[in-house]
Amino acid sequence: MGIRARTWLYLGCSLALHAMVLLLMMLSFAFSPPPTPIPNSPAIQAVAIDERKVQAEIQRMQAQNQEQQSSQIEEMAQLEKQTRQLEQQRAQQQHALAELEKQRKQLQQQQESFAAQHKAEQQQLAKLKAQRAKAEQQLAERHKQQAKAEAKAQRRLEQKNAQEAEAERKAKQERLARLKKQKQREEERREAALERKLAEEAAARTHARTHARKVAAAKNDYIPAIQRNVAQNWLRPVGIPHGLSCVIHVRMGAGGIVLDARVVQSSGNTAFDHSAETAVRKASPLPVPNDPDIATAFRDLSFEFQPNS
């Protein structure tokens, strides 16, 4: 019998029992003689007590039935839940079995495909082995013919090598003779070139010494003139003491034109240094030698500036 059927059976029995109790109470009231209205009568008290007991029993039985009904409903819910879980597990197992069957069929198809491929490869391998055996036989025949041809060619080569060796020996002797003569001529040319180089270097050193003397003499002559021109264009700043000096580097262009002037060794007085640079620029063009070779040495010139006034 199912849980629901048992539940309805219990409920029906409970209701029938309640109905019988009520019917008995009604019959007892109907056939009993009317009570005499006496205060604190024992009969009236007994009837009230019996009714309270009946009501308490009815309430107890109703609570018990409700508790049993709730327990049965909860049990039925648990069973339904377990049934659903079992159904889900069965469905999952069926799905897994279907997947396994599908994989088995795929593996069987792959095995059949591999077997067919293996058979085809074996047939192809047998065919290749037959072709290789035939090719090896043909190759052995060609090697045999080639060996005969190589032996014949070797004999011809040895004869040719002997002839070429003799011709090479003669040619080598001729080359050695030519190289000896060529080496001798090259040694003579190198000696002549070395002598010319030594003479040119000596002339260059002589020219350099002569040029250095001319430049030194020109500087001795022109630097004082440059110093005088700069001093003539110099204006003493206010408050500058006497006896100051600085070294000025001048960069000049053609004809002594001043391109740049800057103090490279300061006097210690910034105003004096600036006035010296200004005087150099005002004195442009500065006196330089007319000889272009010597004037080149004046393109970058440093001199001391020390005004007397």
Question: Tens digit of pLDDT for each residue in 245-262?
Answer: 999 999 999 899 999 999
**Taking a C-beta distance cutoff of 8 angstroms, is the pair 226, 302 a contact?**
no
Supply angle C-alpha 46, 48, 52, rounded to 5.
115
Residue 250 β-bridge partners: 261, 301
In this model, does residue 48 exceed pLDDT 70? no
pTM here is 0.37
* pLDDT of residue 41 exceeding 50: no
Amino acid 50: pLDDT: 79
Higher pLDDT, 22 or 62: 62
pLDDT of residue 232: 94
Amino acid 31 reads F
Cβ atoms 223, 303 nearer than 8 A: yes
Residue among 229, 283, 292, 225 at smallest CA distance from 258? 283
| DSSP β-ladder status, 300-305 and 258-265 | unpaired
Distance of CA 1 to the CA centre of its chain: 75
The domains located in the chain, with CATH, are: 233-305 (3.30.1150.10)
Q: Report pLDDT for 8.
A: 66
Q: What is the pLDDT of residues 175-233, one digit of tens each?
A: 998 999 899 899 989 988 888 888 788 777 877 888 889 999 999 999 999 999 999 99
Instruction: Kindly tell me the burial class for residue 128, based on how many C-beta atoms sit within 10 Å of its own C-beta (0-12, 13-18, 19 or more).
Output: exposed
